[in-house]
Amino acid sequence: MTAPAPAPAQEARPAPLRVLICDEMNPGELQHEGFEIDYEGNMAREETLRRLPNYDALITRSRTRVDRELIDAAGPRLKVIGRGGVGVDNIDLDYASLRGLLILNAPESNNVSAAELAVMHLMAAARGLTRSDRKTRAGDWDRKFLGMELKDKTLGIVGLGRIGSIVADRAQGLRMRVVAYDPYVPESKFERLGVTRAATLDELLAQVDALTVHTPLTEETRGMIGAEQLARLRPGAIAVNAARGGIIDEQALVDALGSGHLFAAGVDVFEDEPPAPDHPFLGAPNLGITAHLGANTAEAQERVGAEIVSRVLAALQGDVSKGAVNAPALDAKTLEALGGYLTLGEKLGRILAQLLPGAHDLEVTFRGEFPADPAPVVTSALVGYLSGHTDETPNMINARALARERGLNIAVREETESPDYQTEVIVRLTSGGGGEKQRTRTVGGTVFGRSPRLTRLRDFRVELEPEGHILIASNQDKPGAVAKLSALLGGWGVNIAGMALGRAQKGGQALFTLTLDDGLSPEQLAQVRALDVIDSAYLVRV
């Protein structure tokens, strides 16, 4: 009698990756092959601390504080933390990064809702909705108020990112003409959206009937729409801020409404939230106010939950291309070899962002033999170039994706020989069309030890440490240029910390850079450019 054949051995299935959702949200589908997702909204902190060591990822909203205590309690299994929505104020990013945790969010989920709220404020301001509502409730049946039609009016948009682009589309649906100012967006995007480009903010302000801002809040954009800028708007214009508190100066907006220069305005954001009972907005005439409701729609909240779950699952499988807030540390060997070059790349990118925003081509050339594959330096240059000018904060994970989204083409060249230094990184930007409209800017640098040095500006050789405020000036190679400029700076009490000179040939075009202890105001920079010995001058901050 023959013995029965043994049953084939069953392959052991890998244990599922576990995800804990501890705050209320609409997470969408929770059944995903290879994952076990536990959803318990409003989980008590003590319960979260107790259960978290058994999970590979945690998803929160703003309620749960992801602080040192929680991160330490999680133990080594936790790899990813997802935050539904935009902000990550409830997460200790520095400590999470130190522990090697990847932090994700889902900012794009709110884009449509935020854009529609801005359009709502625009329409409400045009028709006096909040004014009429307030008077009618008070028993004043006022039918004499005359609003304005938006059809055939010109809308000015500051910041043509994701939300600004949606606002442009909706405004065009209202038959408005749309003009935008965003020096960091290439011409191709304006053409694709059918939006007229304003070369400067002043050019935009002078031609619009309504203004709305959609830009990140940075040192550059804080207060960028102040009393002077509001005065440049056409009399009877509308202003809307549904982006970040402080982009439009609050007191200046109240004053422009009180004087009658502005017809009406709408705001969804304050510098300090919630506002104090005596905040000037609360008593301002013809001002519509909402309580930072840009993301507060059922649809946006549903997208936020489903999107952050999708991104966390992708990250656990190795795809970290979407929503990364922090960049995981490079391995120690790469960081040791390229640390100075990564810093250099970011500084070169920051300089170019100020010299030629809105480029469409970026080319990085590596010259010489580098201690490791220099590819991460390209990404660090993109981080520097995009910093402060995108809806998301660029980092080593998302910078390439953000660059592609903005229409920036990336090319890399490698040359085995470096004629002047052991290694050199050269970054070249191109913007505009062909021929005379095309503009290029080139910067280069190297690393001495671990210290970055600027070695090239345009076709000129320089050598200085890229730190602080750098004044870049070109002139004809004749005596007296540096002396005149130094005298002007000295009269303002601006100290020169360093200097580098370069020229193409004797008596030809020359370039010199001055590292300054302090920056210059726009008026001071204009006086520098007006010197008879100066052909051009730019101030960059690194």
Which residues belong to the active site? 244, 273, 292
Among candidate residues 526, 535, 540, 539, the one with its CA nearest the CA of residue 488: 526
In the chain, what is the straight-line distance between the N-terminal and C-terminal CA atoms, in Å? 86
Tokens linked to 198: 């304003």
Task: Give the contacts of 520 (CB within 8 A, at least 6 positions apart).
Answer: 469, 471, 492, 494, 528, 539
Distances (CA, A) of 61 to 1, 26, 98, 202, 314: 67, 11, 22, 40, 19
Tokens 């930072």 belong to residue? 292
Decide if 213 contacts 248 (C-beta within 8 A). yes
Give CA–CA dist 385/349, Å, rounded: 4
226-230-232 Cα angle (round to 5): 125
Tokens linked to 328: 């995981």
State the alpha helices, DSSP H only, in 234-368. Answer: 250-258, 298-316, 332-355
DSSP code string of 426-466: EEEEEES-SGGG-EEEEEEEEEETTEEEEEEETTEEEEE--
Tokens linked to 154: 């010109």
Distances (CA, A) of 346 to 186, 343, 352, 398, 436: 20, 5, 10, 14, 29
DSSP code string of 353-411: HHHSTT-SEEEEEEEE--SS--HHHHHHHHHHHHTTSSSS---TTTHHHHHHHTT-EEE
Identify whether 274 is preceded by a cis peptide bond (ω within 30 of 0). Answer: yes
Tokens 């050019």 belong to residue? 203
Give CA–CA dist 1/19, Å, rounded: 53
Give phi and psi for 308, each to the nearest 5.
-70, -35
State the alpha helices, DSSP H only, in 226-280. Answer: 227-232, 250-258
Write the single-letter amino acid at 328.
Answer: P
Give CA–CA dist 49/70, Å, rounded: 6
Give phi and psi for 431, each to the nearest 5.
-140, 165
